[in-house]
Structure 1
Amino acid sequence: MAAGLLEPLVVFWKEWGVLALVMLSFTLQVILLITAEIRRRNDSGALKVVVWLAYLLADTTAIYTLGHMSITSPTSQDQKLMAFWAPFLLLHLGGQDNITAYSIEDNRLWLRHLQSFIIQVIAAGYVLYQSSIVARRTLFRPAAILMFVVGVVKYGERVCALQLACTNNMSRKNYPPVSWTGTDDDESPSSMGPYPETFRAHVLLDFPKQLLKGPLPIPPECLESCEWEEMYGVAEMQLSLMHDVFYSKAELIHTWYGYCIRVFSLLATVAALLLFRRLIEEDGYRRADVAATYVLLAGAVVLEITSALRAMFSTWTYGKLIRKRRYCVARALAWLALIPLWFRSHAVAMYEICRERVGIGASSRYWSGTMGQHNFIYMCSHCKDSRGSKMARWVGREDWWNMLVYTSSVPVSPHISEILKKQVKESHNVNKENPDHIRNSRGRAALKRRPELYEELNWSVDTELRESILVWHIATHIYLNWYETKHARCPHHLAQVTGKLSNYMMFLLAERPYMLPDNVGRHGYLALCYILIHELQCLGEDLLSLLRDHGDAVISGQTEDAAREIGSNTTFDNACRLGVKLISKDLESPDANIVELISQVCVELLCYAAYRCLPDSHARQLSNGGELTTVVALLLVYMEYDILTFESVQDRSEDSMASSDTEPGTGYV
């Protein structure tokens, strides 16, 4: 009976299975084309699942279908069109231009993809040979050959892109130093018109490559010093460009052979479509197969047109167009691609500005622009009686559930950029190896600016990074709770920004420890979670009051009762002690500005972690929308090479106006 029930399914699979799989393969390519562009600027869990499933299923479906077709060897007249689909599966295996890898590990498997490439090309060739498409002198032969060549070229291009992303492609030859001589052929930063950030992002791309891929032969002076505001935007744009380097075909596309492949693929696909249209008039085929073939051919044409337009109007083409490259075929092709001579160097800039005016501009070339938030005290005070947390605890997934529910993200506000600027400026002329440099200090330099505080609080920064983050995070929110109550009528925006920075550092420790230096783990965090959730019997504001009381007890030395209640935990004791100390210092000296001190410590912790984060971790996070730590790390690299300056346009204008009083004619026009 079971065999009788399955027989219709077997018949259906034999009749329609290959057609269904080929249509699924094409659908997955469309999904990847759309979602891959979104993921560069969106750190969404649902989006990750969609892209991950589409990426895995796309290769699996195409490989399985090719294998099935090579075994069944369709030879009859009504199955001939199925054999014609084999080259399209190669084309699908070549993937879309904006996604070659889902994660950084996929690039390292390029040899496996090369092996698969050889096997699948042989399988597709075998399917065509067995179907007699190539042997018979019909219009099928040139159409099949054209699509087969396109499929081989695009699949091979993907393998090359994977190999290029995991190796240092600049270690074999030096790029010529970038210089400007004032000729008509060259473009200087001051003459780049409405979109100078694009120029700088591409010209200085060697710096993020060195940070994320390994040492490169970078010229010591690529540009004159640039302002912080400009370089912050450049660093943000370079996150998008490095996403292209690691996870797309961008570096291959924007070469002379990359442009040639785009032109050839489009023309060959259009020719195949026209040949097939004429062929259908001569022979009779099953309507469903004909419709499916039209979908594949028309879809391939649309995808190739999309690929060509994306290449033409990409900022990568803009970078090729304006950079000085003698005898550079890629630059010539990029110039010709824009056709009207008056477009020239500003064409793509104008295109990007137009897109920005309709609301879809800059975000397409930037990162997510958000920072994660995890308030440890808020989580512990709310999850205790949460029904969802109780159920997760029962099935042994409490930590996973709490991280899912009690983490969020907020936009990176201009106030955070200003705080970063102010802190980094303090280290501008400090020796880079000095322990007080912002990339080394971890809060030490901020405390040293207040010697009376450093003597009492240096223990909080002279410890492991994991403990410093935990101690300062808990202490920050003990203090901010008291501070906001005190200033309820006039809340200070610096307190809000400080809370966000503290939550971000805790988010990195709890949710993304791989974005911190490699010796940092979650063990201390999990131990504190157990204490505050399961040992303390307080909720909401009562928890903060209890933490303050515990801090007072630690300072006075009366910790025996507390130790019996919650057990001994040095990190917990130190966090409560620091929170109470910060409140007492504010009460003793109202002008001490403790909020500013805490923000400075948070920024120094952030810079320390960003600069020492593993390059592989920075590169991995680019596939999920990027991370603020990567932007900070790039800015620290630019400061190291003396490219970063903190003199603003307004400061220069004021200086110029001042000088014009004594030296007429020297001011800005």
Structure 2
Amino acid sequence: MQGVAVLKNAWKHWGLQALVLLSFTLQVVLLVLAEFRRRIDSGVLRLFVWSAYMLADATAIYVLGHMSVTSSTSGEHELMAFWAPFLLLHLGGHDNITAYAVEDNQLWLRHLQTLAVQVASAGYVLFESPIIGSRSLLRPATIVMFVVGILKYGERVWALRCAGSSPSGSNYRNIDRSTASAFGLPSSPSQQNPRPQDREAFLLIAHRLLDAPMDLLKGPSSFLDVHYGTSLIHGEDLYKVAEMQLSLMHDVFYTKAEVTHSWYGLCVRVVSLLGTAASLLLFHLHLEGQRHRQHPSKDDDDGYSRVDVVISYVLLLGAIVLEITSALRAIFSSWTFAFMDQRAQERNQDQQDGKMDRNGGPMEHDGLLVESSSIPVPALIKQLLVLKSEAASESSPDHIYNLRGRTALKSRPGLYDEVMAWSIDMVELEDSILIWHIATDIYLYWFRNKEKQQDKEATSGQQEDDGEAQQLAEVMEAVEALSNYMLFLLASRPYMLPLPASRNVYVHACYSLTLHNPSTPEDLANLLRRSGNELNSRSSKTGAVHDTAVSTGNAGDSSHYKKILDRGTQLGAKLIDDKFEDSGTSTHMLELIAQVWVEILCYVGYRCSAYSHAKQLSSGGELITVAALLMEHIRRRTPMA
């Protein structure tokens, strides 16, 4: 009991000081962890960020509430009232993290209510303290910090509101030949030869075409279907722009991106930095004046508790350091460069036309460039994504928006109509993904064994086949990556798939596969291949029709999952069938499978909800979001003059 009494006494005398220091520490932790969060996809890191994010607000609100109902802000602890504005400052948060999840943006009205309540609490604390009634320099220092705290907290609420609403208008200019040349990019597709130093040019283009991801992820900016000039950007260049824009959209949803580079945000930064510096100077002059008027005791410093004075200096100096850090990040961010370029373009146009382009306007965003994913995407997948996105007109029923492998299969005579239509059109999306994943694994294991056997038997002409072998190896890598990625989405992130997809089929398939008890994955692949051959042989003898066999069975029925597994093995065996490989086409079966997976990827990406795309940005961008953005850019593309 004595230990409890000691802790109770320590909390009574120093609990508030400890909580104020904890509030400041959490701000520093959030500032650091928010940057790691953008670059590292880690569940442990997200747990720490979430804990700091939630605890930071809770701590500041608790301390303000405690101050407003106690009278410990007078006498020796008079400086405690001076801390109230700093708690408002802490509630304002940092530029690099305003929301932890996309849902926080939708709750901006709740944060507005909290702003009103906490400002009232801080005002009451100051009203009841001797600071406001005194004529010392501490009064203006406190008032200045109170104003700064309100501005910073209001900025956060406004940023949440902007991130949670649709864009109000079209603020970004088209890319034409003259601006492409100004960026250091070729003005025609035939001249394109990307260089490493073009990175800044692509980033500027990503900024200026940001309306495409804004409309895709937040909703249309107007009733008009405005098209943008991406016709000068082709191939992997367009992929690079789309990937950069995912990082920029992370800033829009989860930071003060839409506020920092507005005139309001600029004014807040100037006022907060100068105000905090002025408050530090006034506070220091106040202590110096106190020191000349009285002789402090051994335990007191200028009439105040030494601990309180130290904490006050920590809060002031810490606030200045954080404000300077925020200002430097804003100045040296890519958004500042884009903002200045936009202004320069507007001035040039004003001089030429005598008026501003109606689509011109400031770029009100902030952020730093980061990669959209933690796993490198093979170059072949990027090429296929762009090619497939440009493949057909939007009005065609075989457009990439409307299919999930149909066009690729139709390119091989007899493959779609006679054999594999059921694997695409006559099953649910999640069933189709699992069927094609099983079939792809079976084919890849068979193909690797075939390649090893041919390498052993090769005695001549090896040099001439090296180029083709390298090409097949790249295609194999792309096929395996796409197949595993789509299965990962089905198993771990089914919310990224269009409704009503679920992971139930994956769970039941895994359970069914464990019943085979294979010793190695290769043994399992061989076992499934033999099973597929038997089923195909049996079907050919009985004349069974694939589509009726697949479509029967309820989604909750175990026989349904067994049929899906069987169809995957049948499809894998058919992919290996020589008659489809020797059908007179130059396209290798591996390339065909890759095209099927790319079409499925684009189908899923374009039909994934905007909410799911935006939600996933908090944990890192997804390849299907890049695919959806690519198709959005190409949909908006205007013909070249």
TM-score range, shorter chain: 0.7 to 0.9
- Quick check: 1:436 aligned with 2:398? yes
Structure 2 contact 170–211 (Cα < 8 Å) conserved? no
Q: Which amino acid aligns with 1:369?
A: S
Aligned residue for 2:370? 366
Q: Does 1:201 align with 2:181?
A: no
How does 1:420-499 map onto structure 2 within 5 Å? 420-425=385-390, 427=391, 430-454=392-416, 455-462=418-425, 463-488=427-452, 489=455, 492-499=473-480
Q: Is the 8 A contact 1:26 1:296 kept in 2?
A: yes
**3-state DSSP class of the match of 1:441?**
coil
Look up the equivalent residue of 2:209 and give its one-letter code: L
Does the aligned pair in 1 maintain the 2:20–2:60 contact within 8 Å?
yes
Aligned partner letter, 1:480: L
Q: Name the counterpart of 2:510.
A: 529
Distance 1:287 1:552, change over 3 A: same
The answer for unaligned runs of 5 or more in structure 1 is 183-187, 332-362, 371-409, 561-565, 646-669
Change (3 A) 1:322 1:76: same
Q: CA deviation at 1:118?
A: 0.6
Please give the secondary structure, in 1, of the residue aligned with 2:132.
coil
**1:73-107 deviations in Å (ceiling 9; x for gaps):** 32333211111111111000000011110000011
Per mean C-alpha deviation after superposition, the further-off stretch among 4-13 and 500-509 is 4-13
Select between 318-327 and 547-556 the one with higher mean Cα deviation.
318-327
Residue number in structure 1 paired with 2:81: 83
The aligned counterpart of 1:414 is 379
* Cα pair distance change 1:451/1:326, threshold 3 Å: closer
Pick from 181, 187, 191: which aligns with 1:190? 181
| 1:596 to 2:591 alignment | yes
- Secondary structure (helix, strand or coil) at the match of 1:365 reads coil
Q: How far did 1:297 drift? A: 0.6
In structure 2, C-alpha distance between the alignment counterparts of 1:501 and 1:175, rounded to whole Å: 36
Question: In the alignment, which residue of structure 2 is the partner of 1:652?
Answer: none
Per-residue Cα deviation, 1:203-261 (whole angstroms, up to 9, x for no partner)? 11111111011111364344553222222111111111111111111111111121111
How many residues in Structure 1 have an aligned counterpart in Structure 2? 556
Alignment counterpart, residue 66 of structure 2, candidates 65, 68, 74: 68
- Mapped contact 1:177–1:219 kept (Cα < 8 A): no
Distance 2:245 2:626 in 1: 9
1:42·1:368 contact (CA, 8 Å) conserved in 2? Answer: no
Cα offsets for 1:169-203 (capped at 9, x unmatched): 41xx5548658797xxxxx2211245221221121
The separation in 2 between residues aligned to 1:60 and 1:574, in whole angstroms, is: 54
Q: Does 1:285 align with 2:285?
A: no
* Equivalent residue number for residue 46 of structure 1: 44
Matched, 1:578 2:571: yes
CA-to-aligned-CA distance 1:246-284 (integer Å, 9 cap, x gap): 111111111112111101100000111111122223123
Distance in structure 1 (CA, Å) of the matches to 2:607 and 2:16: 51
- Which whole-Å CA distance do the structure 2 matches of 1:108 and 1:456 have between them? 48
Distance in structure 1 (CA, Å) of the matches to 2:419 and 2:230: 44
Distance 1:459 1:548 in 2: 19
Partner residue of 2:275? 268
1:484-532 deviation line (CA, Å, top 9, x unaligned): 1111346722112210110000001111111111221111111111111
Q: 1:515 aligns with which of 496, 499, 521?
A: 496
Q: Give 3-state SS (helix, strand or coil) of 2:593's partner.
A: helix
Give, in whole Å, the separation in 1 of the partners of 2:387 and 2:617.
27
Confirm or deny: 8 A CA contact 2:230 2:637 kept in the other structure. Answer: no
Question: Following superposition of structure 1 onto structure 2, how do residues 343-382 of structure 1 map, counting pairs within 5 Å?
Answer: 364-370=368-374
* CA spacing shift, 1:481–1:505, aligned 2, 3 Å: same
Q: Does 1:638 align with 2:624?
A: no
Q: Distance in 1 between matches of 2:107 and 2:481?
A: 38
Return the offset for 1:147. Answer: 0.7
The one-character-per-residue Cα deviations of 1:386-418 (angstroms, maximum 9, x if unpaired) are: xxxxxxxxxxxxxxxxxxxxxxxx321323212
> What SS is found at the alignment partner of 2:144?
helix
Alpha-carbon distance in 2 for matches of 1:307, 1:439? 42
Alignment of 1:619 onto 2:614: yes
Contact 1:223 1:643 in 2 (8 A): yes
- State the TM-score, normalizing by the size of structure 2: 0.82
The within-5 A match list for 1:173-188 is 173=169, 175=171, 178=174, 188=179
Contact 2:436 2:568 in 1 (8 A): yes
Task: Give the alignment of 1:181-260 within 5 angstroms.
Answer: 188-193=179-184, 194=198, 195-217=200-222, 219-222=226-229, 224-260=231-267
Deviations 1:267-311, CA, capped at 9 Å, x for gaps: 000111111122223123222221111111111001111111111
Q: Distance in 2 between matches of 1:504 and 1:54?
A: 31
Report the residue type matching 1:199 in the other structure.
L
Confirm or deny that 1:539 pairs with 2:519.
yes
Structure 1 residues 459 and 276, CA gap change in structure 2 (3 angstroms): same
C-alpha distance 243-308 of structure 1, shift in aligned 2 (>3 A): same
Confirm or deny: 8 A CA contact 1:74 1:130 kept in the other structure.
no
Deviation of 1:156 after TM superposition, in Å, equals 0.7
Q: What residue is the counterpart of 2:362 in the other structure?
A: none
What secondary structure, in the 3-state scheme, does the structure 2 residue paired with 1:85 have?
Answer: helix
Paired letter, 1:423: K
Counterpart AA for 1:113: H
Match of residue 402 from structure 1: none
Preserved CA contact (<8 Å) 1:446 1:597: yes
Aligned partner of 2:154 in structure 1 is 156
1:589 Cα deviation after fit: 2.6
CA distance in 2, matches of 1:176, 1:162: 22
- State the distance in 1 between where 2:477 and 2:167 align: 44
TM-score, normalized by length of structure 1? 0.79
Q: 1:586 offset after TM fit, Å?
A: 6.9
Cα distance 1:221–1:503, how it changes in 2: closer, same or farther (>3 A)?
closer
Q: Does structure 1 conserve the Cα–Cα contact (< 8 Å) formed by 2:167 and 2:220?
A: no
Aligned with 2:166: secondary structure? coil
Q: Verify the 8 A CA contact 1:168 1:214 in the aligned structure 2.
A: yes
Gaps of 5+ in 2: 185-197, 291-301, 351-366, 456-468, 543-557
Is the 2:73–2:80 contact (alpha carbons within 8 Å) kept by the matching residues of 1? no
Q: Distance in 2 between matches of 1:174 and 1:421?
A: 25
Counterpart CA distance in 2 for 1:41 and 1:191 is 31
Matched, 1:296 2:276: no
